[in-house]
Amino acid sequence: MKNTEPRPRTIIEPFKIKMVEPLPFLSRSERQQILVEAGYNLFLVEAKSVTFDFLTDSGTSAMSAAQWGAMMIADESYAGSQSFSRFQQTVRDLTGYEFVLPTHQGRAAERLLFGVIVKPGMKIPSNNHFDTTRANIEQSGAEAIDLVIAEGRDPAKQHSFKGNMDLDRLDAFCAKYQSEIPCGMLTITNNTGGGQPVSLENIRGVAKIYKKYGIPFILDACRFAENSYLIKLREQNQGSRTVKDIAQETFSLADGCLMSGKKDGLSNIGGFIALKESQWLPALRASLILTEGFPTYGGLAARDLEALSVGLQEVLEEPYLAYRIAVSSYMAAGLNALGIPTMQPAGGHAVYIDAKAFLTHLPPEHLPGQALVCEMFLAEGIRSCEIGSVMFGKTVNGKFQPAAMELVRLAFPRRVYTQSHFDYILEGMAEIAARKERIRGLKISWEPPFLRHFTSRFEVV
Q: Which residues pair with 460 in a beta bridge?
A: 442
By beta-carbon proximity to ligand F0G, the closer residue of 88 and 187 is 187
Query: In angstroms, what is the minimal distance from the CB of 164 to ligand F0G?
Result: 16
By beta-carbon proximity to ligand F0G, the closer residue of 271 and 298 is 271
Peptide bond into 189 cis (omega under 30): yes
Q: Torsion over CA of 11, 17, 20 and 26, rounded to 10 degrees?
A: 20
By beta-carbon proximity to ligand F0G, the closer residue of 11 and 416 is 416
Query: In angstroms, what is the minimal distance from the CB of 300 to ligand F0G?
Result: 12
| CA dist., res. 89 & res. 92, Å (int) | 5
By beta-carbon proximity to ligand F0G, the closer residue of 155 and 163 is 163
Query: In angstroms, what is the minimal distance from the CB of 131 to ligand F0G?
Result: 8
End-to-end Cα distance, the chain: 66
Query: In angstroms, what is the minimal distance from the CB of 4 to ligand F0G?
Result: 43
By beta-carbon proximity to ligand F0G, the closer residue of 377 and 412 is 412
Query: In angstroms, what is the minimal distance from the CB of 328 to ligand F0G?
Result: 14
Residues 6 or more apart in contact with residue 410 via CB below 8 angstroms: 54, 331, 350, 351, 352, 353, 382, 384
Q: Measuring CA to CA, how many Å separate 191 from each of 45, 57, 188, 218?
A: 24, 11, 8, 16
Instruction: Name the residues that contact ligand F0G, by CB under 6 A.
Output: 56, 58, 105-107, 130, 132-133, 187, 191, 220, 222, 260, 262, 271, 411
Helix (H) or strand (E) segment spanning residue 430? helix 419-434
Contact criterion met (CB below 8 Å) for 386 and 374: no
- For residue 195, give the nearest of 242, 236, 148, 240 by alpha carbon: 148
Query: In angstroms, what is the minimal distance from the CB of 284 to ligand F0G?
Result: 17
Residue in the shown chain whose Cβ atom is closest to ligand F0G: 106
By beta-carbon proximity to ligand F0G, the closer residue of 218 and 222 is 222
